[in-house]
Amino acid sequence: MLMQRVITALILLPLLLLLIWFAPTPWLYAAFCAAGLLIAWEWTGLTAWRGEAPKRYAYLAVTALILLGAWLAPSGLRGALLAVASLWWGCAFLLLPGFPQNFQRHPPAAAVMALLGLLLIASTLLALALLHERGPLKLIYLFFLIFAADTGAYFAGRRFGRHKLAPNISPGKTVEGAIGGLLLCGVWSVIGGIAIFGLQGGALLSLLALSLLVAVFSIVGDLTESMFKRVAGIKDSGNILPGHGGILDRVDSILAAAPVMVLGLQLLGL
């Protein structure tokens, strides 16, 4: 399993970096939209539509139209989309402690989950494209920020982990691991803030604060997808990535982090 994960990562990571570095933003968005349709398919697997192929294919068609509309939308609507998505992730943060009791009382309807998926997929892909428009390195900064959060959490959790972060959702995650991930994100944000954004002083501190907030949201995204998988009774969202599961399993953190990152940069004027 570990070797499969490593091989898959070694193949996909260079391809992703090449795409980010060389592709114009419209082409990058188109490529991300192709992946977004796969994510949409996996998302419907978290709902009661899991065994209803016609509804799932119809959902893909609607997703494609929404993604096109997000790209063509005026800046005001784009900003609203990012704001609504960020607000949802703030609400998701409040849902996590009550799992599973809250879902036993009020299980999410398939239509509600479908609408939520449209919001999250469209806002994420749009945010990634908007960040790429600022420069490929800005998008790479975000991906490395998420990587720092995951890596720091993994090693800090293994070495110091004692207190469960969300035992009913993801028993392997610890408070100490989350703190380790945030610390590594802080280090990366200072390095990236200077080397990539060219910031110093108060602006650098603003990016540091935003990056730590984005890292927290990335944890929320990870836990939220795990929560939905537990409700659906599945371990992985798919099997398209050997050793990793589905694409949704790999991008759950980015779904939450990307809209918050771009909205924060816009609000802070960075």
Is the pLDDT reported for residue 145 higher than 60?
Answer: yes
Which distant-in-sequence residues (6+ apart) come within 8 Å of 74 by Cβ?
none
Segment 45-54 mean pLDDT: 83
User: Quick one: CA dihedral 151, 154, 159, 162, positive or negative?
Assistant: positive
Structure tokens at 206: 């603003």
For residues 183 and 204, give the distance between their C-alpha atoms in angstroms, rounded to a whole number: 16
For residues 21 and 60, give the distance between their C-alpha atoms in angstroms, rounded to a whole number: 28
258-270 pLDDT, tens digit each: 999 999 999 998 8
Q: Which pLDDT score, from 0 to 100, does residue 193 have?
A: 95
Q: Which of the given ranges, 128-137, 145-154, 242-251, has the highest pLDDT on average? A: 128-137
Amino acid at 268: L
| Exposed/middle/buried for residue 138 (C-beta within 10 Å: 0-12, 13-18, 19+) | buried
Q: Which pLDDT score, from 0 to 100, does residue 103 have?
A: 72
Structure tokens at 9: 């990562």
Task: For residue 164, give the H/E element and its range.
Answer: strand 164-166
pTM above 0.85, yes or no: yes
- Residue 71's pLDDT band, with cuts at 50, 70 and 90, is very high
Distances (CA, A) of 259 to 15, 87, 130, 134: 23, 10, 10, 15
Segment 139-168 mean pLDDT: 90
- Residue 5's pLDDT band, with cuts at 50, 70 and 90, is low
Specify whether the backbone of 201 is left (phi greater than 0), alpha (psi in -120 to 50) or beta: left
Segment 114-128 mean pLDDT: 95
- Residue 244's pLDDT band, with cuts at 50, 70 and 90, is low
